[in-house]
Structure 1
Amino acid sequence: MPVRTFEIGEAIRLMREGKTVARAAWGNPGKYVYMQPAEEGLDPKTGVSIRINDHLMWKNDSGNHVPWTPSQDAVLAADWFVGESGNPEPECICISDWHATGRHRVTCPAREV
């Protein structure tokens, strides 16, 4: 089944919606990038409450989640997709039946969410 790929601008938009994204160029399975929403934390030096802004996180080969800054290669790539490396999600279609049922549903080939 074909997987829709896109550039990093679309990847960032999807991460803002809570999706995980990956690149076709990433060979090993299980890697992905996601946006960690802003949260409150503590300054380790002073113990004062601080705001930690939205930031990108990467689940790496070891299964660790670490801060991620895209490389120039990643910024210029057009092989981003929704899912994780080695396991892209099929393209989904949003079907709105809000007026009839008060809800939206997302339909994907071979599964319904």
Structure 2
Amino acid sequence: MTDPTKTIIPPTVGRVVWYYPDPRSGESGFQPPFKGAPLAAIIACVHSATMVNLTVFDANGAPHSRTSVELVHDESELSNDLRPFCTWMPYQKGQAAKTEAAERRAAAVETKTYADGTVVTGTSPLPDLSPKTFSFGVALDLLKDGFRVSRVGWNGKGMWLDLQLPDAGSKMTLPYLYLSYPTIDVRTTPGARVPWLASQTDMLAEDWVQVP
């Protein structure tokens, strides 16, 4: 019995297979192959994924009819009763395995939206960091140009940094960075808030991204 979890090449009329006759039986006018060698055969009719009718060419090239021949997809599952059977050629098995692997890769596709707004579709698993990540030095330049930045590695999602320029109501006299967390309501969540201070981890990180 063929294992259904293994690669099954669907048989179709006209495809070539290897046929192994039963050495215990003889037939007038049928030239058997060398010991252990297969014969070329063409599928003439398909009963199921594992049962076919064949036109078998003997060692002299003469055609012979063989009906209800078992198509074995995995020769390791053969019993020792030496019954006649047919199987796919190694090249066909190799091509089928490549096709199956390609189909698995195509099925393992995911889409991920990163903190910088980048949307990537590709083979799973996609990287944790956005393709547009950069260093803290680049992040500082973006902040000075008026953009917001964030880190992919921050535990709190949705946070970002802004550069605040002093205004008439500011107690600061120089620009400073501050952290924004949109899910926190300042009016209902008490606590001290001061300008953001970069840690060693933040300054050496390479997962900075630009956010809208």
Report if TM-score (shorter chain) is over 0.5.
yes
In structure 1, what is the equivalent of residue 147 of structure 2?
Answer: 19
Greater relative contact order structure (CA < 8 Å, 6+ sep): 1
1:53 offset after TM fit, Å?
1.0
On the 8 A contact 1:39/1:53 being kept in 2, the answer is no
* Structure 1 position 3, deviation (Å): 3.6
Match of 1:55 among 176, 185, 189: 176
Q: How far apart are the structure 1 equivalents of 2:159 and 2:198?
A: 14
Displacement after TM superposition at 1:17 (Å)? 1.1
The answer to whether the 8 A contact 1:23-1:79 is kept is yes
Q: How many residues align?
A: 77
Identity %: 29
Retained in 2: the 8 A contact 1:21–1:34?
yes
Pick from 67, 87, 98 the counterpart of residue 195 of structure 2: 67
Question: Could you report, residue by residue, the CA deviation over 1:31-54 in whole angstroms, capped at 9, with x for unpaired residues?
Answer: 0001001323476xxxxxxx6210
- CA-based RMSD: 2.4
* Structure 1 alignment gaps of length 5 or more: 44-50, 84-88, 90-113
Deviation of 1:66 after TM superposition, in Å, equals: 4.5
Q: CA deviation at 1:75?
A: 0.5
* Structure 2: tracts of 5 or more residues without a match: 1-119, 121-129, 187-192
1:38 to 1:7, Cα distance in 2 relative to 1, 3 A: same
Runs of 4+ in 1 over 4 A off after TM superposition: 63-66
Of residues 133, 136, 150, the one that matches 1:5 is 133
- The letter of the residue matching 2:162 is Y
Bigger strand share? 1
Asked which structure has the greater CA Rg, the reply is 2
Contact 1:37 1:53 in 2 (8 A): yes
